[in-house]
Structure 1
Amino acid sequence: MHTTPTHPHDSAGHDSAGSADWTSVCDLDRLEPLWAEAALIDGVQVALVLLPDGHLFAVSNQDPATGSCVMSRGIVGSRGDRPTLASPLHKQVYDLETGECFTSADYALPTFPVRVDHGTVQIQVPGSAHGRAGERAETELSDTVEFAAA
Structure 2
Amino acid sequence: MTITLCALNDLIPGRGAAVLLRDGHQLALFRHSDNSVDALDNHDPATGANVLSRGLLGDKDGNRVVVSPLLKHSYRLDDGTCLEGPWTVAVHSVTVVQGTVCLNTEPLEARKAQEPTCQTVSLH
Answer whether contact 1:38 1:45 (CA < 8 A) is retained: yes
Distance in 1 of aligned mates of 2:58 and 2:40: 15
Match of 1:99 in 2: 80
More strand by share: 2
Paired AA for residue 16 in structure 2: A
Q: How many Å apart are 1:73 and its aligned residue?
A: 0.6
Aligned length: 106
Match of 1:138 in 2: none
Superposed CA deviations along residues 5-63 of structure 1, whole A, max 9, x for unmatched, are xxxxxxxxxxxxxxxx3110111011111100000113210000011122210000111
Map 1:55-74; keep pairs closer than 5 Å. Answer: 55-74=36-55
More helix by share: 2
Paired AA for residue 118 in structure 1: Q
Distance in 2 of aligned mates of 1:81 and 1:89: 23
Match of 1:112 in 2: 92
What SS is found at the alignment partner of 2:64? strand
Superposed CA deviations along residues 58-105 of structure 1, whole A, max 9, x for unmatched, are 00011111111111111111114321001111011010011011111x
Map 1:1-150; keep pairs closer than 5 Å. Answer: 21-42=1-22, 43-104=24-85, 106-125=86-105
Answer whether contact 1:36 1:49 (CA < 8 A) is retained: yes
RMSD of aligned residue pairs (Cα, Å):
1.5
Answer whether contact 1:41 1:125 (CA < 8 A) is retained: no
Paired AA for residue 30 in structure 2: V
Q: Name segments (4+ residues, structure 1) moved above 3 Å.
A: none
Question: Identity across aligned pairs (percent)?
Answer: 34
Paired AA for residue 68 in structure 1: A
Task: Extract unaligned runs of 5+ from structure 2.
Answer: 107-115, 117-124
Q: How many Å apart are 1:125 and its aligned residue?
A: 5.0
